[in-house]
Structure 1
Amino acid sequence: MTRYLLPAIALAILMITGASQAQEITTEDEIQMQQCIETVHDIQSSGEDVSLSECIGAASRVCMDAPGGMTTVGMTSCTMRENAWWDQYLNFLYQDLKDTRTKEEFALLRDAQRAWITFRDSDCSFTYEVWKEGTIRSNMYASCVLDKTANRAIELAQYVDWSNM
């Protein structure tokens, strides 16, 4: 139980310090992510082998270039803000698959998604615990959640693409 409590405490500290406002997806984040995805799709359509994984970090890097973005709280906030975008995208793809797959297929996806959430949370809690002695722990935890969420969204996007073939 403690392993799940530590990241929750880190998130609570960010909320108290005002970083929670940075978790909201901004218009700039939307533009940055949409441009990245469109660029990847354009490159893919020209026959080059490039993945949407190239877009992981696109919005958070821009955010970190802003004033205060390179502080510990700033970096974590920027990462969490981009994670919110990927999470929203993941949920959109999940809903699309719910609407287009058979009941049996979707039941398997639902079970897999629940297991994946448990894995992501446990794995990132481990990352937080490993770095518990340093101020970087919140950055490491946020980066873990972003990476896993974005990669899961990319996996679901492939299923949506295959469904449309």
Structure 2
Amino acid sequence: MLKYLAITLAVLPLPVVAQDLAVDEAAVQQCFDGATGIDPDCIGQAADACQTATPDGSTTVGISECLMAETKAWDGILNSQYSATREQYSSDGLPEKLQAAQRAWIAFRDADCGFAYDKFGGGSMRGIASASCQLNHTARRALELKQMREP
């Protein structure tokens, strides 16, 4: 039985997976550095450029991968901003409160993006909706953490 399953799986067409899709991390950093407020128009532009860079970028999988790649870049910025904010408030005894706030934000982001995914049922848009939600929440949180340190 396993032999026939292996043969069957070997001849089935595999889904096309987007490869070599990446975002310009310098563009994401530039978006962060130049942002005023927490909702600049440049959020998502690196993913948009990724999607048009190759034919794979315009597929459902490609769009999701480009969004996730930009999210990863923003996540790196978010982590550095969290560390800097935690360090700034370490003398005030607030690191534990910031940590609790960050954990609550993560729970909110996950629930909100889970909803964005689930509302599309079994449709192919659900992956894109969830990835877009993750990107927007992550970028905005990075910018919020930056603002927390400003006078």
Cross-structure match for 2:78 = 90
CA-atom RMSD in angstroms: 2.3
Q: Which structure's CA Rg is the greater one?
A: 2
Mark the CA change 1:109 to 1:51 in structure 2 (over 3 Å): closer, same or farther: closer
Instruction: Kindly indicate whether residue 29 of structure 2 is the aligned counterpart of residue 34 of structure 1.
Output: yes
1:77 to 65, 74, 78: 65
Cross-structure match for 2:128 = 139
Equivalent pairs, count: 135
C-alpha separation between the residues in 2 aligned to 1:93 and 1:78?
A: 23
- TM-score, normalising length from structure 1? 0.72
1:59 to 46, 68, 75: 46
By how many angstroms is 1:60 displaced? 0.5
Instruction: Kindly indicate whether residue 117 of structure 2 is the aligned counterpart of residue 122 of structure 1.
Output: no
Q: Which runs of 5+ in 1 are unaligned?
A: 1-15, 45-49
Cross-structure match for 1:109 = 98
- TM-score, normalising length from structure 2? 0.78
CA contact (8 A) 2:81 2:145 kept: yes
Q: Percent identity?
A: 39
Mark the CA change 1:21 to 1:95 in structure 2 (over 3 Å): closer, same or farther: farther
- What SS does structure 1 have at the residue aligned with 2:93? helix
By how many angstroms is 1:108 displaced? 0.9
C-alpha separation between the residues in 2 aligned to 1:51 and 1:121?
A: 19
C-alpha separation between the residues in 2 aligned to 1:123 and 1:51?
A: 18
Cross-structure match for 1:158 = 147
C-alpha separation between the residues in 1 aligned to 2:66 and 2:88?
A: 33
Question: Given residue 96 of structure 1, which amino acid in structure 2 is its aligned partner?
Answer: A
Q: Which runs of 5+ in 2 are unaligned?
A: 1-14
